[in-house]
Structure 1
Amino acid sequence: MMRTFTTRDGSIWMPSYLTSIDSKTCIGCCRCFKVCSRDVMHLHGDEDDDFDGKLNRMIMVVDDAGRCIGCGACGRVCPKNCQTHVAADELAT
């Protein structure tokens, strides 16, 4: 059964939820974090890029994908296109 989503004016709309961020592509610019009002992600040190005990690189990680409302703002501001978003009708319920 396909669920229908609408905006306030009744227009059909399909939310696209953030499901992951590619740690190899993310540059940790925090643009997505700044536009997200739902605390879906946070800046984190990348342990795979550890050099002499010091973190060389910070990346964004998804904290709580369930808090995402599917607005897509984070994807629109990402300069590296490193996020994966999945349309609501493709997610398992």
Structure 2
Amino acid sequence: MLRAEFGRDNTYRISGDEFVAVVIDADTETLLRKVRAVEKAAGGKQYHCAAGTAWSPALFSAYGLIKTAERNMYASKQRYYSGKTDRRKART
């Protein structure tokens, strides 16, 4: 899914189930469209995809961008799991 949207040469596994995709010369809307496409594809296969994005229009620190994206990803995971917890409580 990631490689289909971002390309094989721009997608990297950084740990067990965490990946980084590097996008060069794209605007924010294009980046977000690609992320939404990956999330939709994962949802169609009954998976949840927590995506964290970071964007820089000029000189940047790769480390800083990855850390920002990582924080955003964990916030996405927290929102997802909070929703699951709320749904479980509603059933009991």
Which TM class, normalised by the smaller chain length? 0.3 to 0.5
Quick check: which one's strand share is greater? 1
TM-score (norm 1): 0.32
Q: Which has the higher contact order (CA 8 A, sep 6+)?
A: 1
TM-score (norm 2): 0.32
Quick check: which one's helix share is greater? 2
